[in-house]
Structure 1
Amino acid sequence: MPLTRKAYRAAILHSIADPAEVGIEASYEYFEDGLLVVDNGQISALGHASELLPTLPADIDVTHYQDALITPGFIDTHIHLPQTGMVGAYGEQLLDWLNTYTFPCESQFADKAHADEVADIFIKELLRNGTTTALVFGSVHPQSVNSFFEAARQLDLRMIAGKVMMDRNAPDYLTDTAESSYVESKALIERWHGKGRLHYAVTPRFAPTSTPEQLTLAGQLLSEFPDLYMQTHISENLKEIEWVKELFPERKGYLDVYDHYQLLGERSVFAHGVHLCDDECARLAETGSAISFCPTSNFFLGSGLFNLPMAEKHKLNVGIGTDVGGGTSFSLLQTLNEAYKVMQLQGARLSPFKSLYLATLGGARALRLEEKIGTLQPGTDADFLVLDYNATPLLGYRLKQANNIAETLFVLMTLGDDRTVLQTYAAGNLVHQR
């Protein structure tokens, strides 16, 4: 194949560390007139345009964006593919919402044509919103994962997904068995895990919908395939937590259920964690597990406020998640808008640079992919976005009043949405053009 080298010139910003650990100023790199050079799907150089341009061949293809910002692609650490068709459903908290809306919607994914259609819509929505990597729940049907991975593979996206394991406390039409969930998950792992930029996640929905036998087999899969992911939910809703205590009276708490079945580890991501205690945060950090903070969903379902400062105290890896369909937007910009409000309600601050970190490098660290994605460092995958300062009349006007990149970034996260994403690139390929 011929070498394909391209360069992109604009203002460029990326996170290089967690502001909570190094301070805000040392947490990012910003080039007011920057250049990003891409070779065969990977970033080969990043720097000031004035310094890099003279080092490049005269005939290199340089795309120059005016009034735009290049950032790494966004990383969504918690989202449900089969809930695309019921996003924005009215009027329930978690457990009733699952029974009223979610389970009937997920039942349709046994049908290949339906699964293919939704996978296509879902991936287009991710890319339209600048999300280049997502940790995705399928439904209980293997077809949901096959359809998603087939669509993602065609675009060479870095995606992680798994078939839901659920063998109790759900409608009969939507349950598997401990054994069938193990066999079907294993077949999906052997078919997809490590193919191109795809990874598999063992996916017990949450403790109440899995028997001890099923949770044991989920742990067994993780021991059989050492670089798998594990995703589930934890401590989202107070009634849910009480239910877990009733179902597992022998365990000392919700996290201890997962710990007992050996589901904690460096590639384990637990969604929500709204009502975790200090000891649970410490245990998650000790095992290298991560939390996906889902502010939009936590507001929408009335679940509560995630305590980010407590997670930071324990040096716990945290990514951000839209949690569609509990969350009401595929946009991580909109999700960060909500995250800021969650902190405000707790008397805490969320700087725009911490928000950028959560949506990019923080998500990559939560997924143990920081060597591949989450920054614009040379040697990483060329997954990046072009954000348009003039996407809407109000945004264009407001950004003219911004005095520095901190203010610009915060306004993008407050007023921005899918319209702000001009282009999305994955592995150096243009996969969305507004």
Structure 2
Amino acid sequence: MIRAFRGELLSVARDPRGDAGAVRHEADGLLVVEDGIVVARGAYSDLAERFAGMAVEALPGLIVPGFVDSHVHYPQMDRIASHGEQLLDWLDRHIFPAEKAFADRAHADAVAEAFLGELLRNGTTSALVFPTVHAQSVDALFEAALARRMRIVSGKVLMDLGPEGLADTAETARGESEALIARWRGRGRLGYAVTPRFALTSSDAQLAVAGALVAEHPDVLMHTHLAENVRECEAVTDRFSCDYLDAYDRFGLVTARSVFAHGVHLTDRSCVRLEESGAGVAVCPSSNLFLGSGFFDFGQADRHGFRTGLGTDVGAGTSFSMLHTAGLAYQAALARGDRLDPFRALYLATAGSAALLHIGDRVGALEVGQEADFVVLDDAATPLLARRTAEASLAERLFALQILGDDRAIRRTYILGDCAWERGA
């Protein structure tokens, strides 16, 4: 099936710093999709004759690639906006009790359905997702994502030093992970990630199992947390007597397929190792502010040149909106004296996060040959947005959407060229 869409197209396929050609914009563009894949894109005037006679759907608004959330927790969505604690106490008080409920498959199914609905409502079409220690929490998420044809990467959480009701073992970590990989590999648009929660919740034996799984399955990612909170970092140093990243590295968990969430308190040594290994960091400004963890150092990351993307980190993050997250990333960068350009923020929320998740050849830029996941943004979604964007330049409109926008600015979300969510429908 071939479909054509006409409207204003914007994407940023590469980091735009020093590369003006990375920003691609067609004020009056045509996007042609066949069987879910982009087969043509360009100015309408250039393509109209080639596709004469084809029905064209006009889309009012700014069309951008579907957002890619590089770090989010689906079991935590019902504990979003939980008051009063920094990371370690917040986990004990709010999160671990909530995650124990995922021993019930029906509960996992219900939350997975609601979670994916929130992603689509906020324009997010791909995500790297933490489930819980329960294998069925992965099954529930993958089944719901498969039905929606979404590109979701996830994997059973490993935490044999977790609290009662959430602790597995090194042996069950391997067995259940292997079974999940076998069950879901190659199905739909799904991907697997070996997922130790963080260094303090796994024994050395289990971290070694995680490293072995990564080595034995070259198509999987490794997804965990790194250097989020000062107290957490101190506890890791006390246990492992080394730099936080080194604690993972000794178990083979620092590779080009490793995605580390946060990285707020990275040493230069860690930054050098991230760059040389090809690993990267999912920056989560909303949760870093909410839990009082600090501000990611974009300047440090840029000096060392390691890969970065953006994540909402719900439920410590306070919004599913990648627009809102991009706006907070600007503020976090400015707090350390760095200016995050709105086009670079869009890159981090789309193609940058896609590259971090090793799906950049498939999504993130709306280029020919990529999957047609895209979002229609409404820069007049609220009276204030409408006033701010009237007669504004493209950069000003995009920046206003990132600072003032949220789920209200999402007019439609498309998956593989089909409308998966529409405001008001």
TM-score, with length taken from structure 2: 0.98
1:346 to 333, 336, 342: 336
- The 10-residue stretch of structure 1 (386-395 or 171-180) with the greater mean CA deviation from structure 2: 386-395
Check conservation: 1:12, 1:33, Cα contact below 8 A: yes
1:312 aligns with 2:302: yes
Query: 2:264 aligns to what?
Result: 274
Written as runs of structure 1 = structure 2, the 5 A alignment for 1:275-314 is 275-314=265-304
The answer to whether residue 26 in structure 2 is matched with residue 37 in structure 1 is: no
Equivalent residue, structure 2, for 1:324? 314
The superposition leaves residues 261-310 of structure 1 with CA deviations (integer Å, 9 ceiling, x where unpaired) of 00111221000000001121110111110100000000000001101121
Aligned partner (choices 388, 395, 408) of residue 419 of structure 1? 408
1:177 matched to 2:138? The reply is no
Q: 1:423, CA displacement in angstroms?
A: 0.8
RMSD, matched Cα: 1.0
State the one-letter code of the partner of 2:362. Answer: K
Aligned residue number for residue 112 of structure 2: 119
The AA in structure 2 aligned to 1:131 is T
- Structure 1 runs (4+) deviating above 4 angstroms are none
- Counterpart residue number, 1:5: 2
Partner of 1:257: 247
Partner AA of 1:406 in structure 2: A
Separation of aligned partners in 2, 1:81 and 1:31: 35
**1:47 to 2:50 alignment:** no
SS in 2 for 1:77: strand
Equivalent residue pairs, number: 423
Aligned-residue offset at 1:313: 1.7
Question: 1:21-420, aligned counterparts within 5 Å?
Answer: 22-23=18-19, 25-58=20-53, 60-66=54-60, 68-168=61-161, 170-249=162-241, 252-402=242-392, 404-420=393-409
Deviates more, 1:76-85 or 1:49-58: 49-58
Output the TM-score relative to the length of structure 1: 0.96
Q: Is the 8 A contact 1:5 1:61 kept in 2?
A: no
In structure 2, runs of 5+ residues without a counterpart are none
C-alpha distance in 2 between matches for 1:101 and 1:401:
46
Say which SS state the counterpart of residue 11 (structure 1) adopts.
Answer: strand
3-state DSSP of counterpart to 1:236:
coil
Cα deviation for residue 331 of structure 1 reads: 0.3
2 CA distance for matches of 1:388 and 1:363? 23
Mapped partners of 2:281, 2:55: distance in 1: 41
SS in 2 for 1:54: coil
**In 2: Cα distance, 1:337 partner to 1:157 partner:** 25
Which string of whole-angstrom CA distances, capped at 9 and with x for unpartnered residues, describes residues 139-195 of structure 1? 010111100000000111111001110011x32111101111111111111111221
What CA distance in whole angstroms lies between the structure 2 residues aligned with 1:345 and 1:264?
29
Separation of aligned partners in 1, 2:12 and 2:51: 25
What is the identity, as a one-letter code, of the residue corresponding to 1:202? Answer: V
- Is 1:433 aligned to 2:415, yes or no? no
User: One-letter code of the match for 2:183?
Assistant: R
User: Which whole-Å CA distance do the structure 1 matches of 2:78 and 2:146 have between them?
Assistant: 23
The CA distance in 1 between the partners of 2:26 and 2:66, in whole Å, is 17
* C-alpha contact (below 8 Å) 1:6/1:38 kept by paired residues: yes
Give the distance between the partners of 1:223 and 1:337, measured in 2 at CA: 37
Name stretches of at least 5 consecutive residues in structure 1 with no aligned partner. Answer: none
**For residues 193-222 of structure 1, what are the alpha-carbon distances to aligned partners after superposition, in whole Å with 9 as ceiling and x for unaligned?**
221110000000000000000000001111
Which residue identity is paired with 2:56?
V
Please give the secondary structure, in 2, of the residue aligned with 1:10: strand
SS at match of 2:371: coil
Report the identity percentage. Answer: 50
The 2-side partners of 1:135 and 1:73 are apart by 14
Instruction: Give the secondary-structure state (helix, strand or coil) at the position aligned to 1:13.
Output: strand
Letter in 2 for 1:408: R
Mapped partners of 1:325, 1:201: distance in 2: 20
